[in-house]
């Protein structure tokens, strides 16, 4: 689990430096339509998912003004792997531009490891 968290942190940090000039945020974003459990139907191979087998899910729930993120999968050894994070709105809940982090909750106040999601 620590290895997954470390890799997620690294990927998050790398994505935060990506050039996003071509990406546009949804300006009439409705968070309630985004919430719930989403199932993976295809995958770009990432090393932190190499042991994952179906079902692979991402679950989004409101946590105050933010969105709690829970990514999980079963592993080849039939164990559940879970990574929890938090997505924060950059401007307002009506603009689909968020920052997401998977660092431990006690470190989230530092804003390290946050990556843009649109």
Q: What is the DSSP string of 50-98?
A: TTEEEEEEEEEEEETTEEEEEEEEEETTS-EEEEEEEEEESS-TTS--E
Domain that holds residue 10: 2-117
Q: Is the pLDDT at 20 greater than 60, yes or no?
A: no
Q: Is the pLDDT at 38 greater than 80, yes or no?
A: yes
Q: Based on the structure, what is the number of domains in the chain?
A: 1
> For the segment 46-101, what is each residue's pLDDT rounded down to a tens digit?
777 778 888 899 999 999 999 999 999 998 888 998 989 999 998 888 888 888 88
* Threshold 0.75, pTM exceeds: no
Give pLDDT, residue 26. Answer: 80
Q: What is the domain-level CATH number for residue 47? A: 2.40.128.20
Read off the pLDDT band of 25 (50, 70, 90).
confident
67, 98 Cβ separation under 8 angstroms: yes
């Amino acid at each position: 689990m620590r290895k997954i968290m470390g890799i997620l942190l690294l990927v998050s940090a790398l994505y935060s430096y990506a050039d996003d000039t071509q990406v546009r945020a949804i300006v009439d974003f409705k968070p309630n339509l985004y919430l719930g459990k989403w199932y993976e139907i295809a995958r770009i191979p990432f090393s932190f998912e190499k042991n994952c087998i179906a079902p692979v899910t991402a679950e989004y729930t409101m946590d105050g003004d933010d969105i709690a993120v829970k990514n999980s999968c079963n592993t080849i050894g039939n164990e559940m792997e879970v990574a929890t994070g938090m997505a924060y709105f950059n401007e307002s809940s009506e603009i689909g531009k968020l920052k997401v982090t998977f660092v431990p909750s006690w470190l989230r106040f530092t804003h390290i490891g946050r990556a843009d999601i649109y």
